[in-house]
Every structure is written in structure tokens, then in C-alpha cells.
Amino acid sequence: MKILLMGHPNVGKSVFFNRLTAANIIESNYPGTTVDYTKGYMRLEGKDIEIIDVPGTFSLEPKDKAEEVAVRMLHESKGSKVMCVIDASKVERGLYLALEIIEQGFSVVIALNMWDVAIDKNIDIDAKKLEQILGIPVVPTVGISGEGIFALVSRLKDATPVKVEDIVERTEGIKHKANTPDERWALIEGISKKIVTFGEYQHTLKDAIGDFTVKPATGIPFAIAVLYGFWSIFGSFAGFFTDGFLVKIFDEHWLPWLQAVFPGGLGNWFYALIVDVGHLENGVLAASDNCFESFGALSSGLFVPVGVVLPAIFIFYLMLALLEDIGYMPRLAVLIDTVLHKIGLHGYAIVPSVLALGCNVPAVGATRILETKKQRFMMMTLLAVFIPCGAQIGIMQDVIPGSIGFVMLYLMAGYFIFGYILNKVIPGRIPEILMDVPPYQKPMSRNISRKVWMRTSGFLKVAVPLVIFGSLLVNVLYLAGTIDWLGNILAPMFEGWFGVPRETAGPLVAAFLRKDLAVAQLSAIEMTKYQMISAVVLVSIYFPCIATFAMMLREGGKTFLGSLAVLLVVVFTWGGLLHLLWKLMGVA
């Protein structure tokens, strides 16, 4: 037997999945968290039963890629049972999808989830009666506390296919079909009259805070305050751990220890690859005294991901998880909707954009919540080009602490300007969407810690090998003279057009593997402050790192070539423009 977990977005399907299986899936308080399906196994009466967490869908006529996955899953799973999760505070909407699934001949059990929310809102649902009318098991549940989930599972065996005609008969007294949307809604209205009573709705403090944070007059200042707070905490936390502890550990203990015990010594090629390439001081090769400049796979290669990036990524994901679970993201989406519409996107584009500030790889996946191919293409391209990942920001914080605000502003301006242009140039429609704003929630520490752990460890698994491999590769290219050769060829463009020293060619090669590594390498090159800013901007907008590259290819297919073309144009114009700006200011 196989069980599909289906329902609208943000009703708690992934919470169920995590409870029923030993697997870990990200849950957040906004629609569109799960965009691809995940399989897991549940032990029931001595047998392993496969459970699938299906992305949320409003109906069986898909509107976006995540919904397409949902409908496809259903069609590929004839004969399996469906656990239909319904938000009890919005039963009517959920019943529509349930009826569609029942009509397809599936055996369905219904979880009236968010039962606690319905009680809060004084909505009373007669679950027994609903069960009689539908002829299938109906169980009230509270996903976050686990209430009712055991009862739900034990009722799976009672689920059998039913006929919609019979449901109509039990509701209206006469038997007829209900397979058009209008007929279905009429049926739902009939059912709802029999089972739901709305008590008087008490306005709560939560509603007041909800209104305050979503109305533009108060919401926008509040959003600015939240983002500013986010940024400040990010900076101080990452700085505190990196500069306060990790730099000391790496520079004063780890590097000297490596230099002392590793065979070979300065000048030996193997030692250079692994520990320290050294640098010239008055014509003599001298040992490095810090892990930013040593470039060895075990010195810089470990220091960058662990010493600088880890604290940044950790605090970023911790704060993001809080915002997600409280339910602030949908409010931010509503507030920014009008602006994003101007560039052909809509409020929920904020989700991939913010995720990208952590790591571009999952962000590319999150673009599935956008409805059209055009929007997905634009979003993927814009985030890969203009949104620096947490690793990069962490390093910038260390390398150009005074100018990071400017770099971010410059990139953000690019995001909007090129978004505007792309929207004008690319044909395709932008659908209007209705944004659903879920109520605020108290975040649960268990979910927060699990999310932070999953994302941080996922990031490290990708980052550490790539950074180590990247530093090795770049060192080999240096030793083989390839970088100097490239630098010479590209020198006219680097020096003349971008206004940066030709040595930045090396870090740009490294940037393809890991951007954080590249920014770290820039710090070792002799440059003016303005050249440094230009170089950091170039690294940011230049090719996405290899992991993002792979993900874009997977998600975008052929459109990836389009992204590449946009990227080249942007690097050239946006990079060159900055040089022009410095010239106008008289600093270049």
C-alpha cells in the first residue's frame, strides 16, 4: 500500500510527513514550502508503508510547477490511498480538492488539521456528521502537537472509494452528478450548512499584530525595522565568532601547527598546495601568517568554510527559520508585491530571493512556486546574478566591512533594473495571484533547530569539498602559469574596462567553484578600496558557483542558456558601469 499526503499549500502536510516517517522535510508557515515530492516509510501493523509528501495544490488543474508535480503524483499512483489534509478553519476550500480526488476513485481519509486554529476562531465542525455524509473517515488533528494523528492512521483501513453521487444524495436528498466546478461548489455549500457553525469571531491581539504588520503605512516601517534587525544581528554574530574566535584559532594555532609539521616546507609544490604558497617579501619567499593568504587546501580551504562561512550561514538560517515559522514571510510578500509586479514577478518571489541570501541552490528550486516559465526564468537568472549567498556575504563582512552596504545596494539596483528590462524583453504573461496570509504562529524550537541543522549541514556538505577542491585547483593553475596567462589575455578588459588589477583573473576562476573562496582570495591582492569593491561586485555577478549552475541546469533545462547570455551582458555592463562611476567620482 502507498499513501499520498495531499492538500492545499500550508495546511501541515509536511508536519504530518515528518511525524509519520523518520524522514526530515522542511516545514514553514507559508504556502509553497514543499515544491517536489518526498518519499518516506511508515511502519504499520508490521508492514512498511510508503508515504509521499506531495506539494500543496488547490485543485487538480495545476497552475504552477509544484502543483503539476502534485497532479502527476496522483495520476501515477492509481490504487493508493490519499490522506487529504484540510485546514479546519477553511473547510469549504479544502473539500473542493477532496471531492476532486474522491471523484477520481481514490480511497481517501480526511484530516481536519489546524483544529486548534478553528477552535480559536470559534468555528465548530461536526466531524462525525461530515464522515457520515462523505462516507469516508474524517479525523480532527493538530499537526504540531500530534493530536489525532494516531487516530487518523488507524482509520486508514476504513477508507474505501465512494461515489460522489451518493454524497450528493446524502446532502441534498436526490441523486445526481457533481463534476463541474459549479456543481461541486453547490454541493460543498450544502455540506457546509449541515456541519459548520460559525460562532462569534473574537478579534485577538494576534489579528491586531497581523493587521499592523501588513498594512503599508505601518507594515513598511516595520518591515524595514525587521530587515535592519536581521542585518545587524547577522553582522554582529558572524563578526563575533569569526574575528573573536575562529580567526585566532586558525591563524595562531592551526596554520602554525600545519606549517611546523607538514613535510616539504616553503617552496615545495606539494606543501604549497596543501599548506602555504607563501608570498614574496623583498624578493624572498616568506611564510604566510594568516589563512586568508596561505591558500593551502587545509589552511584557506578549511578556514573559509568553517571559520568564516559557518557562523554566517548558521545565524542566517536561524533567523530565517524564525521569520518563516512565525509566518512573517507572507506579510513581507504582500508588502513587496506591488514593487515586484513592476518587474514581472509577484510578492512570493521574495521567498526564493531571501533563500538565495543563504544559498542559491535551494533558492533555484524554490522558484517552482512561480506560475509561468517566464517568471521562473527571470527569478532564477536574477538570483543567480544579483543575490550574493550567505557564504559570500560572510566573507565580504570580513574583507570589505565598510563597503558591504554599498555593494548590496548596487546589486539590488541591478536586480530591479535588469528585472525591469527582462520583463519588457521576454514575451509571456504575468498572472495575478491571490496571496493567502496565514495567521501568526508561535515558532516551535524543535522545528527551528531541525531546519537550521538540515540547511547548515546541507550547505557544508556542498561547500567544504568544493572549497578544498577549489583551492587545490586554483593553486595548480597558478603553479602551472595558467592564471598569469589568462590574466595577460584578459588584462585589457580587466584593467581598461572593469578597472581592476589583472591578478583578479585567478579569483574569478575560483569563483566558479566557490564564490566565498574567490572573495577571500581577492583580499590577498594589492588594490585600492574602489578596485576592491569593483572586484567583489564582479565576483558576485559573474557565473554562479558550480552547485547553483548544476541546479539551474536541472530546473531550467534549455532556458539555462538564456540565463548565461543575460549573465554575460550583466557582467559586462554592470561591472563596467561601476568603473565609470568611480571615474566620474575621480577615484579611479
Ligand X SMILES: Nc1nc2c(ncn2[C@@H]2O[C@H](COP(=O)(O)OP(=O)(O)OP(=O)(O)O)[C@@H](O)[C@H]2O)c(=O)[nH]1
Residues lying near ligand X in the complex (CB under 6 A) are found at: 7, 9-15, 27-29, 31-34, 55-56, 113-114, 116-117, 142-144, 325, 441
Residue number with CB closer to Mg ion (294 or 447): 447
Q: Smallest gap, in angstroms, from Cβ of residue 95 to Mg ion?
A: 20
Q: What is the smallest separation between the CB atom of 493 and Mg ion, expressed in angstroms? A: 46
264: three-class secondary structure by DSSP: coil
Write down the least CB distance from residue 88 to ligand X, Å: 8
Closest CA to 321 of 142, 453, 219: 453
Give the separation between CA 280 and CA 13, rounded to whole angstroms. 60
* Nearer residue to Mg ion within complex by CB, 111 or 214: 111
Identify the three-state secondary structure at position 434: coil
For residue 10, the partner it binds in Mg ion, ligand X, none, with Cβ less than 5 to 8 A by kind, is ligand X
Element (H, E) at 472: helix 445-479
**Residue 142 touches which of ligand X, Mg ion, none (Cβ within 5-8 Å per kind):** ligand X
Contact 529, 403 (CB under 8 A): yes
| Contact call for residues 309 and 238 (beta carbons, < 8 A) | no
Query: CA-to-CA distance for 346 and 418, rounded, in angstroms?
Result: 16
> Is the CB of 292 or the CB of 317 nearer to ligand X?
317
| Binds 15: which of ligand X, Mg ion, none (CB < 5-8 Å by kind) | ligand X
CB of 148 to ligand X, least distance (A): 9
12 binds, among Mg ion, ligand X, none (CB under 5 to 8 A by kind): ligand X
Contact 367, 68 (CB under 8 A): no
Minimum Å gap between C-beta 152 and ligand X is: 12
Identity of the residue, 57 or 559, whose beta carbon is nearer to ligand X in the bound complex: 57
Query: What, of ligand X, Mg ion, none, does residue 9 touch, CB below 5 to 8 Å by kind?
Result: ligand X
Q: Which residues bind Mg ion (CB under 5 A)?
A: 14, 33-34
Q: How far is CA 257 from the centre of its chain?
A: 39
Q: Which is nearer to ligand X, 29 or 456 (CB)?
A: 29
Q: Which three cell numbers stand for residue 134?
A: 462523505
In the bound complex, what is the minimum distance in angstroms from residue 179's beta carbon to ligand X? 25
Contacts of 553 (CB under 8 A, 6+ apart): 560
Are the C-beta atoms of 398 and 234 separated by less than 8 Å?
no
E strand or H helix at 123, and its extent? Answer: strand 123-125
- With CB cut-offs between 5 and 8 Å by kind, which of Mg ion, ligand X, none does residue 116 bind? ligand X
Q: How far apart are CA 354 and CA 502, in angstroms?
A: 33
Select 152 or 247, whichever has its Cβ closest to Mg ion.
Answer: 152
**Which residue, 15 or 246, has its beta carbon nearer to ligand X?**
15
Which lies closer to ligand X via its Cβ, residue 7 or residue 388? Answer: 7
From the list Mg ion, ligand X, none, pick the one residue 441 interacts with, judged by a Cβ distance below 5 to 8 Å according to partner type.
ligand X
Q: Minimum CB separation from Mg ion for residue 15, in Å? A: 8
Angle at 338 between CA 337 and CA 344, to 5 degrees: 85
Query: What's the closest the beta carbon of residue 4 comes to ligand X, in angstroms?
Result: 13
Closest Cα to residue 323, out of 222, 197, 416, 249?
222
Q: Out of Mg ion, ligand X, none, which partner does residue 333 contact, by CB within 5 to 8 A per kind?
A: none
Q: How far is the CB of 460 from ligand X (least distance, A)?
A: 24
Among ligand X, Mg ion, none, partner that 28 touches (CB below 5 to 8 angstroms by kind): ligand X
Length of the chain: 588
Contacts of 22 (CB under 8 A, 6+ apart): 40, 41
User: Could you give the C-alpha distances from 361 to 65, 366, 455, in angstroms and in order?
Assistant: 17, 9, 11
Q: Closer to ligand X by CB, 116 or 495: give it.
A: 116
Residue in this structure with the C-alpha cell 444524495, named with its chain if needed: 169
